Structure 1
Amino acid sequence: MKLIKVEAHGFKSFAEPISLKFDGGVVGIVGPNGSGKSNINDAIKWVLGERSAKELRGNNMDDVIFAGSKTAQPLNKAIVTLTFDNKDGLSSIPHETVVISRVLERGTGNNVYYLNGEVCRQKDILSIAMESGIGKSSLAIISQGTVSDIAEATAEERKAIFEEAAGVSKYKFRKKEALSKLSKTQEGLDQIRLLIAEIERKLNPLRKQAEKAKVYIAKSEELKSVEVGLLVDNIQHFGGKYEELSLELEGVAETKSDLEKRSEEAEAKINQNQSFKATAEAELKTLSIELESVRERLNKLGLSLARENERERMIAEGQLKVDKDETIKAYKKLLISHGNRINYLKKEIQNIENKIKDNQNNIQTYDDEINLITVKFNKKKNDLFKVETHLNILNSQKENNTFLFKGTKNILENKSYFGRSLKGTVADLIKVPNEYLTAIEAILANASQHLVVDTSETAVKGVNFLKENNGGRATFIPLSVIQPKSIRDDHLLAIQGHPGFIGIACDLINIDPSFDVLSKFLLGNIIIADDVQNANKISGILDRRYMVVSLDGDTIRAGGVIMGGTKASSQSMLNFDEKIKQLQDLIPGLEADIHANETKLNEIQNYRHSAIELDAQLKNQKTNLVVDERQEQALFDEYNIKLKSISNQQIELEDKGISAQSQQADLQVLESRKVALEAEFRAKSERVDSIGYTINSTQKMKNDYDTTLRNLLVSFAKKIAEKEKSKLLLDQSRERLAAQYKMTFESAAENFKLEMNRDKAEEIVRFLREEIDKLGSVNLEALETLVEEEKRYNNYVDGEKELSEAKETIENAIADMDKIITTRLANIIHDVNDEFNNVFNTMFGGGHAKLYFTDPKNILDSGVEIEAQPPGKNIKNLKLFSGGEKSLIAISLLFGILKARPLPLCILDEVEAALDEANVVRYAEYLQKLKPKTQFLVITHRHGTMSRVDSLFGATMQNRGMTTFFTIELAEAKKLVEDEQKEPQDKKSEM
């Protein structure tokens, strides 16, 4: 492949475009030092892919662009083009002419290569140079320094010359690329094996985690199918039980009211009968006194009748003389006295009867008050019972943390583990006025159970604690991390004063100032309105940017989603302690009311008892007065009879005395009265006994009512507790269904049904929960991660296989190239040895020379040594030869190589500079021998060389810093050389 033409513009000193066409086998370029003739050498090297600015005698690649002179401006671009004749087919390019160009723009560092006018890669240019034998490391470009280097180089450095000559540079280049690929392949293989090992380490535990996750999911689904059915059944069961107990309690309440009414009626009847009995007993006593009086009068009348009979006998005998006037006078006085006494007693009796009537009215008033206070007393006792029952339920719920999630409950039960870092739940830290409770509950929902801690480290500690103890899940709010939320001032200004606007949620609660950031974090950007209509309007004014909640808990979320309606009643955690305190505060008041009613009831009952006693006393007094009145009346009647008797005594005496018949008649009257009184006494006695029996039976009935009522109250309390428990379990089931399974009762009831009895279901749920708990912490992402990791693993395994195969292919290719390189090197040393010795003989006029490997058994790593023996000399070390001798040995070796392996082009840049004239002639003549197979471009200033070239170009700088070329004859060349040699002499003479 012959070099036909070199074109350059902007390269180094070629400010103007140059074009050199080469004719003949040996072309010479001459010119003074500094004329830029060697820039042709640099230009050719640059086009063929030279990357080192130093090799081109510069500091950086921009130095190859014309930098300007006094008469010319700097250029911004350098371009060099080489045109080759490829008719010999040394290049694989399928063209007879190969044109290679390189372009560089200043300041960009971008080199553009062209091959036959098409942009190509630097690698393509290097490949063409190597396959044609004119690469950077070949013998195609030889300078004076290179010649001396050949002689002085080490055996290993010298070997590179023969590698180029043997045509193994492309194989070494390919081997280098292959080794680079092998290194990268090995790096990739090592990396991919590390990744495979890493994934393998992950896969086993990941497979276990995935298997555990599968078991967890399967058991969770099984648990869900049973537990949701059980929860549905629980809701139906406890809902039905709650309704049933509500109806039962209504019935019990009616029965209770009826028993209380009956007990009160029995009490009133007892009191009435006791009053009747007291009256009857008083009347009985009166009858007894009257009966005794009649009996006494009968006795007296009997004695009187006996006396009368005696008196009649005495009168009849003339023994009795009566002073009628004195006796009549005495009886009249007695009649007046007893008459006055009778009138007094009647007035007293009337007064007593009036007092009895007033006292009985008082008793009735007391009875009415007792009934009224008893109703109040029973109501207060019932209220106290309800409060104490509710309080017991709340205390039980608080003690057992009934409403807390498992994780929250476990953390609170281990407060000591966290010390002061754990502040409590959100519900523990905020106090909500009752009027805002429903709204705040709607906002916070489950967040009321979130645990407030000091820092995120404590939160992580809590999470790890739950994981290590299978303690469930909990949400932590670290105070050191959270930021307060707020509503922009202009937005707040827009809604203040709007109908229904109440305030910002965080401003409506009570909280310790140290937790102010917590309230603003949870509630700082939430608005409270009076109802859902105004809440919706306020939300619209603010473009749905914030959550707005009504007092009823209806919610308009940011973005516009509206939630509301009725809510199943459930026990809120908010103000839980406050509710307990409120109930506790109610108890002393109720107890005081009960005590006051009891005291007043006892006081009135004492008053009533005193009134009943007074009634008995008054009736007894009345009875005594009636008896006295009757006795006085009897005496009055007796004295009146006696007065009449004395008045008629004269007549009776005349009629022979008083008739006993009259007294006999009185005796009969009294006897009849006695019989009547005795009959009335017996009747009254039976009446008293009957009333006593009625009182006893009524008291027994009342006692039965009271016993039944007490038992009923116990049952009532149990049913209330049972109702509350049913309501609690009902709400818990609903809440668990919503919280754990995100389902409403209606949707759950449609899709899940309990297919077994409750005991069996509860046993299965317990069993599955235990099984799930035994699994410990479960990585639910493991299934998806396993699929991804196995996919990665398989990809990496496939990649490893591909890389291993690629590595093997590269290693085989390297082994093949090593064989080729070894064979070719061995062949080139063998072939060059004969030619080198012949050329050496010619150049030195005798002697001998040879090449040999320093390690023939390992040619790849072996160096190449030169053994040279000029005539008459026995020097073993090349470095001991003179400069001319070393140059001539190197030139002999170069020519030997070119004879054994001709190159299409060889550029010789002043390689003969150290030779004497005789050897220069030998050198130049030998070029003529080699030119049939090798084109020589000789840069020289030696006459012996110039006179023996086929064509000659001269280089000069007519304008300083700018090189021009021209074709010259030998005489002109000699003059140029002479001028160059004379110039230093002139300078010396000038000095």
Structure 2
Amino acid sequence: MYLKTVEMVGFKSFADKTTIEFDNGFTAIVGPNGSGKSNITEAIKWVLGEQSAKSLRGSKMSDVIFAGAEDRRKGQYAQVTLTFDNSDRALNFETDEVAVSRRYTAAGDSEYMINRRPCRLRDITELMMDTGIGRDSFSIISQGKVEQIFTQKPEDRRGIFEEAAGVMKYKSRKHEAERKLKHTEENLHRIYDILSELADRIEPLEEQKNAALRYKASKAELSDIEIALTAVQIETLNEQWQVAKNDILAYGEDIHNRRAALTKTQASLTDYKGKASQADASVNELHEQYVDLVKNAEQLQAKIQVHHQKVLFKENNQANQAENLDSLKAAVKDFKASIIQLKAQLADMEKDIDEKTTDRDSLLSALEDLSDDSEAAVQAKRTEYITALQKQSSLQNDLSQLEKDIANEVASVEKNQSERTAKETTLAELKAELAKAEADKVSMGQEIESLLNQYQMKDQEVKAKQDEAYRANQEMNQANQRLMQATARKESLEDLDRDHAGFYQGVKAALDLSDKIQGVHGAVAQLLRVPDTYTGAVETALAGAMQNIVTENGQVASQLIGELKRQRAGRATFLPLDVIKGRSVNPNDLNKIQSMPGFIGVMVDLVDFDNQYQQIMANLMGNVIVADNLDNARAIAKALYSRYRIVTLESDVINAGGSMTGGATKRNNNAGLLSRKTDIDHLSQEIKTLTATVTNLQEEMHQVSQVSEEMVKELETIKAQGDEARFSERTLTSQIDQLTGQIADLTEALKTGESLQASASKTKAKQEKAKAKLEADLKVVDDQVNQLKNLIEDMNLSATDKAEKRAQLQGQLQAAETDLAVMQSQYTQVESQLAGQEAELAAKENQVSQVEAELKLMREAILSNSETSGTLEADYQAAVKAQKDCEAQLKAVRKVRNEAQNKADALDKEVQEMNTHLQDLLEKQAKVEATASRYEVSIDNHLTHLREEYGLTFERARATSELTMSMESASLKVRQLKKEIEQIGPVNLAAIDEFEEVNQRFTFMQKQRDDVLAAKEKLYQTISEMDEEVAERFEQAFIAIRDAFEDIFPKLFGGGRASLKLTRPDNLLESGIDIEAQPPGKRLQHLSLLSGGEKALTAIALLFAILDVKTVPFSILDEVEAALDEANVARYGRFLREFAHKTQFIVITHRKGTMESANILYGVTMQDSGVSKLAAVRLEEFDEKLLESSN
């Protein structure tokens, strides 16, 4: 592999497209300083991914774009393409040539391409990996990199040896292992924290577990005694409740009769109250009208008074304004008199000033007659003569300069015409080229648009298919998830159902015996089908009764009880079909509440079951009423005098007797027993549906994926075609922009030329006209000079005899002028006073006009107010009359209201007396009901205690437990057991299971700790292996480079010797590298003690040694030999020639010795300011031609 070409467009000083072709040998690029030759090196670094604008000698990345010149516009983008010969497949690309490009626009857009296809920088980096090519590798070596070798510390110098040794990937793996080790350490710390926490929990949990076991033993004994005692207490309370219930019925009949009579009387009372209320409403309405009328009359009366006051005020104001008008007129009269007086005074002053002016003028005339102007006239003529001479000289100079300007203007016109002809020819050529480029671009644009339309259509089809595939996949995943969830839920429910999960221990045992003993129908919960709406209410109502077992008869129940006792498997309640009788709500009570808000029904009517269980279900739910919420349930309970149990849909309960149970608890053991069978059926159907759905979606996904893959391939083909077309269009756009800029520049230049040509013609005409005028003026001035010269010679008069008379007249003139100035000042003062008086007069006359206008408006307003006063008086009288009429109507309606109210009061008194008698009866009934309620509440509390504490009904408690001691002894024993339980303190029953869970987790975390420790040890081993590999490879590379360096150094220096030494041979992972050298004729010494040239040549020897060990496809050397003398440069050049057989060298240089050794020589020049150009010479062919010519 080698670099074939570098193509640059708009990169730095290479404004135009420039292509450099390289052979697989030694190429030198030369040129003067500032010509742009180093821009070639930077272009290569830039393509390979250089991201630092500073390393490219810029402040920002846009500095790589051509910055423009005097006659060149700034570039719009920079693009560089490197083309590699890949015939040996060194690059992982199945083409013989690989082109890597980078493009950057003035808008800041950046783009990378491989073989003209857009890619990422990462793709280019990966492509070049392990080839030795990169922006920071030894494929590009500058003078600065050479200097680093002898200026770096030994430890820093180690990096170039590591790069040559190829250990960077091992160091990277080591860093990755160290990162994982750090993560492992963190995990280990967390595990230790968890183990510490679990260790702290195990001991207290064990204590809690033991306490819980003691609590369960005491609780079991307490349950047996308390169940039997509660059953006896319920039987006693039930007998007392029956007696009280009979008394309540007797009182109820008497109360019913009295309430009927009361209802009739209350109806009459309501009728009269309604009449009184209607009359009262009329009274209120009329009273409001009356109040409004009174207010209206009062408002009108107030308006009349206000109006009268306004009229009075205006009349007074009119009188004041009349007095003010008289005063103003008197002032006007006074001002006019004063003005007449001032005008007369001014006339007298004007007369005096005229007389004084006449005296002054006479003195001036006499003084002028005596004036001696002969000397002044001579001096004036001399001054005029000098001025004429100066004007004559100036005109001669102007005429000479004008003749030169005319000659220059003629030459300029001829030159402009020649340049214009050349520019018009160039412009025509550029326009033709532009038209062709624009036509090509239009054609390319149409092709791009066609490809874009194809791409968009295909892209939409692909996206639609991908969306369809994604949707199908999502739906399939969701369906799969639901299927797995449903299957798992169904299997779980079936396992629970088979195991009778949720049932008490004794119930489970009895149900398990159904295989051996015939006649077991199942638990109540298994025989019921409850709608979801009522599940909560039914579970609350039945509670533990859901686990009662229905048997064919009492004999079967006895067999089951015997087996439970024999096996000591627990207790259960049984409901024989031939024994249990149903209960119901009294029909009258049911009729009473059916229309009440919130009533839903009797619970037994809301559930489904086989007809054979009618008596069983009616016994459990026949007298339980269901309501929608607690408020409506309370209203129903009140209507039924709390004789029935009422359950709401929210699982609140109003017990018989009035006690209420509600709130929220965690789900109890009975929750879910009712819905389990229904859930299993629903889940079976759902699993069947979901299985079919998943199968259909899988088939749909397979079809969509096949179509989508084919469409994606078509889309990629269209995209590649579009990329190529867009690249061509961008090239054409760049060409069009360049041509447009050139045409604009030429057009502007032609316009400027035309303007200059026209301006030159006008200027020449003006110049010719000016020349003629100057010649005429010059002739006039010549004649004037001759005349003045003759006149001055004739003038020679005396001026001394009139001086005395002139002095006398001047004194008189001064006095006259002083008097005249005083008079004029006095005149100005009087004139100013007159102007002020006239201004005051005008202001006073204006005020008189304003006051007269105001008086006229006041008279009109007073007349209008008089008319308004009459209207207001009429409105007031009408309002007073309406007020009196409303007052009379109000008295009549009040009389009707009072009569109806008196009758209502009498009936109200009668109702109160009837209520008193009824209340006495209700109080007596209430006392009996309270007694019955206490019995009922006590019974219900005992039943609730049995149900909630032990999950038992009264019948089951009476059947399963027998009190073997007196009630007093049993009560004492219960108190003792409760005290023992209280002394145990708070008990965590969950601690029994929790202890086992925590103990298992503790064991698991110990195993996790051991696994993490093993992983940690393995990571340490990996790091050690990487260190060994790095050390081994570094040592091998160091030895190889050292041997090559010791061989190359004397060849480059023409003698001497050099060596490389490790600063820490015992630590190959961190050791630095020292360089010692002995140039010919000198002693062996450290690199830092050598001269600048010796250092540079030593560093170059080391670089060649590294390249000898670590061969790269090509190497770019940018003025690395700048510090060498001519002899060393020649050896350096020969050495490059020798190395070129295995490494392609591209050398930026300005040294003769290097140039002479090159196969191809490229010259970089800057003929136009700011634009680099390239010229190539193949030296081998040149040498052959020289040899042929010499022969």
Range into which the TM-score falls when normalised by the shorter chain: 0.3 to 0.5
Q: TM-score, normalised by structure 2?
A: 0.38
Name which one, 1 or 2, has greater alpha-carbon Rg: 1
Higher helix share: 2
